[in-house]
Amino acid sequence: MSRRSLSRMTYQSTSNCGCQATDLTLSKANRAEIYTLSTSGLYLRNSFTVYGSINCLLTLRPSNSPTDHLFITTDHNDYFTVSWDRERDTIRNERTAQDVADRFLRDAPGGPRYIADPGGRMLGVHVYEGLFLAIPFVLAEKKGRRKTTSKGEIGNLDEHSAIRMKELMIIDIAFLYGTDVPVLAILHRDGKPETAQLSTYQVIKSGGVCELQEWEIKHSNLEAAAKMLIPLPESLGGVLVVGEHMVVYLSALGESARTVKSPLVEPTVFQAWGMVDRQRYLLGDEVGKLKMLFLELDEDDKIVHIKVETIGEVSTIIIHHHYIRNLTSMRRPQPPIR
């Protein structure tokens, strides 16, 4: 098997399976491999197989768990979670497989998307056109209310909730940082080929059902070739929209609401991004060039300029970056499910 075909099947996530360990989890078709990152390199710690080809790996940390849980989705459109049993030194099932497949719905035009709220309150799945699957975490109930949730369930995944969306041609989606409730940013097209649009929604849970409520960041005139969303950490806030000709920063509304636009030196079709720190982001394009996006700040810690420079080139086309301290790993995402 060639290097290119192997990389197409490989996805990864980082997690903490022990008190002080940092682990790298790779998936290859229906097999997941857990590697421990040490000063001398990576070594295989454990592996296991699942029924179906793995589409996504995300990590989550329940409030009552000393280690991360691994959220796994497959090409059968089901999901489940596992954790590391330190006493038995092996994988332990947490949330049993939940089937969310619907043969009457059309696949998402932009391919499947799997995202995690940086506030640790929800996971999101978008695999069907016009449908967003919200998977909230079980939260501790407010004081004064009758207790209906056991202490052991707090922090684990709750029942999923399917939400209809009016946006059909979705390019990318992401949860934003520093919001009181989970906020979903959606980059999409509405049938006008000359522009792309950005909409944001609060994901509100009420009575066990989640719904979308419009939020403050909106833009109806982005370049048609807009490709990716990069949510910025809470200290900066807002979101970057990366296109072929321009990078646009959109902040939340308020007294300091601003839009910063920065044209690229040359047209570039970006395929992937990865965060290095709050001011630096790795970008990979369709021909294998590696670029660094740098955010210039003023004395008030506000973004005033965006700079993108080429820093190198890799031997294979980059589709996803993941920065692990001093180690940068790359993966290809899942192709659209057909």
Q: pLDDT band at residue 94, thresholds of 50, 70 and 90?
A: confident
Residue 142, pLDDT score: 59
Give the C-alpha separation, 118 to 121, whole Å. 8
Which of 79, 116, 83, 76 lies closest to 15 in space, CA to CA? 83
Q: What is the mean pLDDT of residues 76-97?
A: 86
Give the C-alpha separation, 71 to 50, whole Å. 13
Element spanning 153, H or E? none
Residue 16, pLDDT score: 60
Give the residue extent of every domain in the chain.
1-98, 102-263, 267-330
* CA distance readout (Å), 332 to 181, 192, 261, 290, 320: 31, 30, 29, 15, 6
Residue 111, pLDDT score: 86
Give the C-alpha separation, 198 to 193, whole Å. 15
Residue 151, pLDDT score: 55
Residue 148, pLDDT score: 55
pLDDT digits (tens, 9 = 90+) for 274-291: 888 899 998 988 888 889
On the question of pLDDT at 65 being above 70, the answer is yes
Give the C-alpha separation, 218 to 68, whole Å. 34
Instruction: Assess contact for 261 and 271: CB atoms under 8 A.
Output: no
Q: Regarding predicted confidence, which is higher, 12 or 278?
A: 278
Instruction: Assess contact for 118 and 175: CB atoms under 8 A.
Output: yes
On the question of pLDDT at 206 being above 50, the answer is yes
Give the C-alpha separation, 91 to 83, whole Å. 6
On the question of pLDDT at 7 being above 50, the answer is no
Continuous H helices in the chain:
3-7
pLDDT digits (tens, 9 = 90+) for 155-187: 678 889 999 999 999 999 999 999 999 999 999
Q: What is the mean pLDDT of the chain?
A: 81
Give the C-alpha separation, 50 to 45, whole Å. 17
Q: Kindly report the number of other CB atoms within 10 A of residue 94's CB atom.
A: 17
Residue 15, pLDDT score: 60
CATH of domain 102-263: 2.130.10.10
On the question of pLDDT at 251 being above 50, the answer is yes
Residue 320, pLDDT score: 52
On the question of pLDDT at 338 being above 70, the answer is no
Q: pLDDT band at residue 36, thresholds of 50, 70 and 90?
A: confident
Give the C-alpha separation, 236 to 240, whole Å. 11
- CA dihedral (323, 329, 330, 331) positive or negative: negative
Residue 334, pLDDT score: 38
